[in-house]
Amino acid sequence: MYTESTIADFERWACALGGAALAVYGTRRAVRERSVGGAMVAAAGGSLIARAGMQAFGRETDTREALAGPRGVLLDEAVTVNRPPDELFLYWRNFEMLPCFMQNLQSVRQLDSCRSHWVAKGPAGRSVEWDAEIINEIPNELIGWRTVGDADVVSAGSVRFTPVPNRGTEVRVRMQYAPPGGKVGAAVAWLLGSEPSQTIREDLRRFKQIMEAGEIPTTAGQPRGR
């Protein structure tokens, strides 16, 4: 029901999560000739996943290795939701509900308490799949994850729920992904940089709308003149 949303089709956060690099892949040749100097800019520090949480789990080194250090693209978006953190955490933690507000995600299947299988709409109508695992979880506060196995792109991310007085909860998503193809892939990711960010922003907006209003506003299917 919620996935019927028809808001303009932006770049996809699902891609950013696991399959962004596939989109990137397609355009790789196109940009091969261009300068890639400075493309690594976006890499910006390895502070991707809520660091404290990572340290609590003692996994930080693993993730850094997985991502080959502070490489790739770092995204950081937040929204404030007028609901308590535990309610938001509970909804988000049930990954199978994520396609309700992540527009380009088709399905998520929980494999066990830690691992899940994700399917997203990829470039050119193909679907993109990957497995992810939870690498950190603090109830009502934080969920951290990364891709595992043969994912086409190594990515990690976190969502943090912070209560703010009289305003509800700040929901902050941080993601880092390191696409294949080294410099070139990163260049493309950099060129597309603003779009994954806008995609996450729109997904977070839909999350807020579901949690606050119980539905996502739409005009899709309303009458109009010729």
Partner 1 sequence: MKAVVWHGTGDVRVERVPDPKILNPRDAIIKVTTTAICGSDLHLNDGFIPTMQSGDILGHEFMGEVVEVGRDNTALRVGDRVVVPFTIACGRCFFCQKQLWSLCDNSNPNAWMAESLYGFSGSGLFGYSHMMGGYAGGQAQYVRVPFADVGPVTIPEGLSDEQVLFLSDIFPTGFMAAENCDIQRGDTIAVFGCGPVGQFAIKSAYLLGAERVIAIDSVPERLRLAIVEGKAEVINHEQEDVFERLRAMTGGRGPDACIDAVGLEAHGTSLDAYLDKAKTAAYLATDRPSALRRAIHACRKGGIVSIPGVYGGFLDKIPFGAAFAKGLTFRMGQTHVMKYLRPLLALIERGDIDPSFVITHRLPMDDAPKAYQMFRDKQDECIKVVLKPHAETVH
Residues in contact with partner 1 by CB under 8 A are 7, 80, 82, 167-168, 198, 201-202, 205, 208-209, 212-226
Tell the smallest beta-carbon distance from residue 65 to partner 1 (Å).
Answer: 37
Smallest separation (angstroms) from partner 1 to the CB of 197:
12
Which one, 24 or 102, has the nearer CB to partner 1? 102
Q: What is the residue-wise DSSP string for 7-34?
A: ------HHIIIIIHHHHHHHTHHHHHTS
Minimal distance, residue 206 CB to partner 1, in Å: 10
- End-to-end Cα separation, the chain, in angstroms: 27
Nearer residue to partner 1 within complex by CB, 8 or 124: 8
Closest of 226, 165, 203, 169 to residue 75, by C-alpha: 203
Percentage helix, strand, coil for the chain under 3-state DSSP, each rounded to 5: 40, 30, 35
Q: Where are the alpha helices (DSSP H) in the chain?
A: 13-14, 20-26, 28-32, 51-57, 60-66, 85-93, 182-191, 194-213
Return the number of the residue (104 or 116) whose C-beta is nearest partner 1. 104
CA–CA distance, 103 with 196 (Å, rounded to integer): 12
Bridge partners for 130 per DSSP: 118
CB of 43: closest distance to partner 1 in angstroms? 27
Dist. CA 176–CA 113, nearest whole Å: 23
Q: Which is nearer to partner 1, 60 or 202 (CB)?
A: 202
- Shortest gap between Cβ of 204 and partner 1 (angstroms)? 12
**Closest CB to partner 1 among residues 28, 201:** 201
